[in-house]
């Protein structure tokens, strides 16, 4: 599996976790968004742990840019599904 797929998978799975937490926790909406932002930021450290070549991406902000849509899509989808069920 190449590095782009690893980054997408890590951010999608952490988005799933953030969506479940945001949907099940009795938090106001702004607190759920803050929790998701914290989990999104911490996800870059998980990417480093699974062996992605950091020289290829250069800076942590480029890793965050690579995974933002994977995270956002899975987080919103699971937050909406769990919150409305």
Q: What is the DSSP string of 50-69?
A: TT--HHHH-SHHHHHHHHHH
pLDDT of residue 51: 83
Could you tell me what percent of the chain has a pLDDT over 90?
A: 45
Closest CA relative to residue 74, chosen from 51, 43, 47: 43
Domain count, the chain: 1
Residue 33 in any domain: the answer is: yes
Is 6 within the bounds of a domain? no
- Has residue 19 been placed in a domain? yes
pLDDT bracket for residue 21 (50, 70, 90): very high
Please report whether residue 52 resides in a domain.
yes
Range of the domain at 36: 11-84
| Whether 7 contacts 62, CB under 8 Å | no
Would you state the pLDDT for residue 39?
94
5 in a structural domain: no
Model pTM score: 0.88
Residues 20-41: what's their mean pLDDT? 90
pLDDT in tens, 51-83: 888 888 888 888 888 889 999 999 999 999 998
Residue 68 lies in a domain: yes
For residue 53, the model assigns a pLDDT of: 80
pLDDT averaged over every residue in the chain = 89
For residue 1, being part of any structural domain is answered with no
């Amino acid at each position: 599996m190449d590095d782009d797929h690893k980054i997408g998978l890590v951010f999608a799975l952490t988005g799933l976790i953030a969506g479940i937490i945001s949907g099940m926790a009795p938090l106001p909406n702004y607190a759920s968004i803050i929790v998701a932002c914290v989990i999104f930021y911490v996800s870059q450290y998980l990417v480093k742990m699974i062996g992605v070549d950091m020289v290829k991406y250069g800076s942590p902000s480029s890793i965050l840019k690579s995974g933002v849509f994977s995270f956002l899509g899975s987080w919103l989808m699971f937050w909406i599904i769990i919150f409305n069920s």
